[in-house]
Amino acid sequence: MGRLDNKVAIVTGGAGGMGASHVRRFVQEGAKVVIADLAEDPGNALASELGGQAAYMKLDVSDAASWENLVKETEEKFGPINILVNNAGISIPGNTQETPFEEYQKTIKINQDGVFLGMQYVYPSMKKANGGSIINISSSAGINSSPNTSAYTASKFAVRGMTKAAALDFAPDNIRVNSVHPGLIQTPMAEDEETKKVMDALKENVPLKRLATPEEVTNLVLFLASDEASYCNASEFIIDGGMLAQL
C-alpha cells in the first residue's frame, strides 16, 4: 500500500532535476502523476519510463490559459486533483545594481506568477476532490538572501508569503498549502557556470559540508503531499543541512 494511493498529482518542472525525483517517488507511492513542463522530449521519456500512472502535459507556468488547459486535461485523464507541487523555477544570477529589468521580470514571471496561477487554477479541482495539498517549492533564499541573487531572492520570498495567504484562503475547503525551502541541491540548474560559482562558495557554509540530493528533498515533499501531514498548513519547511541556523 502506497502513501499516495488513489491520489492525482501535478508536478511542475517535472521533466528533470528535483521535479523528476518527485514524479518518480509519487508514482512509486501509488499516485497518478502529471509531468507538467515545457521540455517535451524528457517529459515524454519520463512518462514512458513510468507507464500508465504518469503522463506528460505541456505547461507554461506563467500563462493562465496553459494552466486552464492543464487542469482540464488532468481531470479528463485521471480525475480531480489532490496534489500540486509548484516546483518549476529558474535562477538567473545578478545583483540589484546590474540585473536587467527583463531578466528580473522573467524570474518573477516563472518563479512567482507561476506559483500564483497554479494555486488559483488547481483550487476548483481540489475543492471537487474534497481537499488536497499544495507544496510550493521556495528556497533558503526565501528565508534569507545571499549576494548576486536579487531577482531570485525576491521571487522566493514572494512564494513564502503567497503560501501563507493561500493556506488561509483555502483552509475552509480542506486544502493545505505549505512551502519547502531547499538549500544547496545537486540539480542540473546548479551546474550552470555562474550558479555553480555561487553554490561552491556557499557550500562551505553548510554544516554538513555537502549539497543535498534531489531525493532528500523528495522525502519531505512526499510527507507534505500525504495524509500523514494532515495538520501541517501555512508552514515553512527548511531543508538546508543547517545552513540558515548559522546566519
Q: Strand 32-37: give its sheet, edge to edge.
A: 54-58, 32-37, 8-12, 83-86, 132-137, 175-182, 236-239
Non-local (6+) Cβ contacts of 239 within 8 A are 180, 181, 182, 183, 212, 216, 217, 220
For the chain, give the number of residues.
247
For residue 129, what are the contacts with CB-CB under 8 A and spacing of at least 6? 8, 79, 80, 81, 82
Rounded-to-integer distance, Cα 139 and Cα 91, Å: 11
- Between CA 196 and CA 201 the distance in angstroms is 8
Answer whether 141's CB lies under 8 Å from 99's CB.
no
Strand partners, 34: 10, 55
Answer for the pair 119, 166: CB distance below 8 angstroms, yes or no: yes
SS3 144: coil
Active site (annotated) includes residue 121? no
Distance, in Å, from the CA atom of 44 to the CA atom of 242, rounded to the nearest integer, reads 36
Q: Which of 56, 121, 123, 152 is catalytic?
A: 152
Residues annotated as part of the active site: 152
